[in-house]
Amino acid sequence: MDRIRISDLLVRCILGINEKERHEKQDVVINLTLHSDVSKAGKSDSIEDTVDYRALKKRVLAMVESSQYFLVEALAEAVAELCLGYRGVMQVDVCVEKPHALRFARSVAVEISRKR
């Protein structure tokens, strides 16, 4: 299976269980690997034959920016579900990273893989 990667997508959203996290948007970094067969697009050079990752990115941004999850795990699951609903995506690997979530750590990340 071929892969399309969207790296270091920076989004601001409400995410966390603490009171302050419920009121102030925070940075979240999302990395996606979309598993799809891109061989037809490689031959045709046509957007209709591949995953429109620009449109998918816009949908991910809109969903995450309006979300209010308590857990990074729940946000990752929602992103995966959205991606799998997209034409041509057979599997997705999602990594949601929350910078500075833990003291003395650069970030905390949750990585999941889901198949259609």
Residues near 103 by Cβ (< 8 Å), separated by ≥ 6?
none
**How far apart are alpha carbons 22 and 24 in whole angstroms?**
6
Whether 98 is catalytic is yes
Residues 20, 40, 57, 98: which is the catalytic one?
98
Contact 76, 91 (CB under 8 A): no
**How far apart are alpha carbons 63 and 41 in whole angstroms?**
27
Catalytic residues, by residue number, are 98
